Structure 1
Amino acid sequence: MNAPLTDEQVKNVVQGPGDVEWRYEMRRECQEILPNLLLGPFVASKSLETLRSLRITHIVCIRDAKEAFSVRPRFPESFTYLTLDVEDNEEQNLIRLFPTAKQFIDQAIAQGGRVLVHCNGGISLSPAFVVMFVMQHYQLSWEDALHMVQNRRYCISPNGGFLTQLKEYEAIYRASQAVASSSYPNVNRTIARRKREDEDDEDGTDRYDDRKRALVDNSDHDDALSSTSTYDPDSMDVS
């Protein structure tokens, strides 16, 4: 889990590069949102030359089930794909599907790969997934995460249902973080307590022996004192 960003870092991350002039035709291209994580439309995934020039290794293909005949993995022999069949409407549950996508992206990047996430137009469906990923990656609010992605791919516009789920996901991931943070110190305390108990177990015999020896020594000393101060009947003999 990444450390939370400072207010200044959040501002810089959300604003993104200021030297990019958005052009309409750029909606047909893909843009890098995070290092090694790109977002774009299906058309960008149809060009093997483009994918290779971008050094893409993994592709998340998110499509409406009705589009399966056209929006599909085109180069399975060249790239590792994750295909998610969803519906691009406000009732579609994205939160349920997101963990699968996140795990795929995390593993790909951890292995040194570069991931393209796309849907048909790269406007609503796939951006919603990328916003959720960015939100958790940088521990941002849903609004900051949305603005961050928009500042790199200006044309995104998740539908109203997806926006509601982005708000819900912020609450979900923050609650998970709170649970993880609160349980971590307890683990440390438990480990420390067990360590002390183990040390006590290791030293217990020695300390017991020390106490035992002390008792023996004291009793021996008391016996010696008793033997020197024992009543001598001859000393009282006046006959």
Structure 2
Amino acid sequence: MAAPSDYHADQSTTYVRSFPYRDERPSRLPRVLISPPQLDYSHSRPTYHVLSTPFELRSGEYGDPVFLRSLTACYDLNMRHSGLTWQYEMRRTAQPILPFLYLGPSSAAKDPEFINRTGITLLVAVRHTSSVKTRPNLPDPALFTSSAGISTLTLDFGSPFDFIPRLRPVIKAINDHLAATCSQTPSQGMLDIRGRVLVYCESGNERSMVLIAAYLMVMFGIDPVSAIHVIQSQRYSVITSAEMNNVLFDLQEIIKAERQVAAASPSGLPPRPVKRNIDYMYDSDDDAGLEYQRCDSAQVREGVAPFADVDDWVVKA
């Protein structure tokens, strides 16, 4: 129930609210609108161009940094858009978003002919935790006849807010698989990477799309809208929910922070604090008063208390 929005004080207390407030939770998250992409028609076919940034992380949390820098350096996100040639039946198969990264439905992951023809070496299933509980054997890629002799991986999450905490190990597993299939490191081109990854969910349009969007954001440093446009340029049937759009924008802030830390630290790791010795402790005692004076004389921005004394409020009024 919403609290009253007036400033009148309760007769049983001597304090009054400084501002009106509400004690109810917002009913819905702010809606994120995905604007249409700006396409280039200069070569008679629509194309979509995205300016990516080099992979600068050195910590190895997403895989071998040497391999990842070479992977992103040898591929530009200049995509031929399929909007004019897309047909409804194409949603039942998978499309390559990158030369080594496919997106599609579970029916494509179960198709041995498709797996052999495209050379898929890793199946990544993105599932809802509730569906895993009700159908524990579906759609587990390890149980598909098409997965014989290839690697499998699953990403299960229920709430959209469970996505980011489980994202990094999955991206690292994908990159480690690609690095293991690379003929040389650093790679000199896409032909050096022999691995092929198929990321799928039941429809191939929702949860699996979000994983690939996050992968593009991490690897190429692009924003969520550009990542969605890149995917949609190859698989036109993809859709996103407002909740997952907000999650991707939250992920963008995390990626920005990771890249800023990597750029500030030459080693890619935060510097370890220097342990203070006994001499430093004795010397710091002499400067304690001076430090206090500096803090006291500094200009401090004062906040506004949520409650005020009713007498002071009456005087101000």
TM-score normalised over the length of structure 2 = 0.52
Paired position in structure 2 for 1:78: 149
Aligned to 1:236: none
Matched, 1:53 2:125: no
Count of residues in Structure 1 that have an aligned counterpart in Structure 2: 177
C-alpha spacing 1:69/1:169, structure 2 compared with 1 (3 Å):
same
Letter in 2 for 1:86: F
Cα distance in 2, alignment partners of residues 186 and 78 from structure 1: 37
Equivalent residue, structure 1, for 2:206: 124
Q: Which residue of 1 aligns with 2:177?
A: 108
Structure 2 partner of 1:44: 108
* CA distance 1:35–1:86, change in 2 (3 Å): same
- Residue 95 of structure 1 aligns with which residue? 164
Give the Å deviation of 1:84.
2.1
CA pair 179-26 structure 1, distance change in 2 beyond 3 A: same
Identity of aligned residues (%): 28
Q: Which residue of 2 aligns with 1:162?
A: 244
Question: Given that residues 81 and 234 in structure 2 are in contact (C-alpha distance below 8 angstroms), is that contact kept between their aligned partners in structure 1?
Answer: no
Between Structure 1 and Structure 2, whose CA radius of gyration is higher?
1
5+ residue gaps, structure 2: 1-51, 56-75, 182-194, 270-317
Distance 1:29 1:45 in 2: 9
TM-aligned CA distance change 1:186 to 1:48, over 3 Å = closer
How far apart are 1:69 and its partner, in Å? 3.2
Q: Stretches of 4+ moved more than 3 A in 1?
A: none
- Which deviates more, 99-108 or 38-47? 99-108
1:206 equivalent in structure 2: none
Over the residues paired in the alignment, what is the CA RMSD in angstroms?
2.3
Q: Distance in 2 between matches of 1:155 and 1:80?
A: 27
**Aligned 8 A contact 1:108 1:114 in 2:** no
TM-score normalized with structure 1 length: 0.68
TM-aligned CA distance change 1:116 to 1:185, over 3 Å: closer
> Following TM superposition, by how much is the alpha carbon of 1:184 offset from its aligned partner in structure 2, in angstroms?
1.2
How far apart are residue 18 of structure 1 and its match? 4.0
Aligned 1:189-204 pairs, distance under 5 A: none
Amino acid at match of 2:89: E
Deviation string 1:55-76 (CA, Å, 9 cap, x unpaired) is 0000111112315433121144
**CA distance change for structure 1 residues 156 and 68 in 2, over 3 Å: closer, same or farther?**
farther
Residue 35 (str. 1) matches residue 99 (str. 2): yes
1:149 is the counterpart of 2:204 = no
For residues 202 and 113 of structure 2, what CA distance do their matches in structure 1 show? 19
Instruction: Determine the C-alpha separation between the residues in 2 that align with 1:130 and 1:186.
Output: 25
Q: Which amino acid aligns with 2:232?
A: Q
Bigger proportion of residues as helix: 1
Whole-angstrom distance in 2 between the partners of 1:106 and 1:70: 25
Q: Deviations over 1:73-131 (max 9, x none)?
A: 114432100112223x5x45211111121011111221221100001111110100100
Structure 1 residue 23 corresponds to structure 2 residue 87: yes
Secondary structure in structure 2 of the residue aligned to 1:151: helix
Provide the C-alpha distance between the structure 1 equivalents of 2:239 and 2:81, rounded to a whole number of angstroms.
21
The gaps in structure 1 that reach 5 residues or longer are 5-11, 188-239
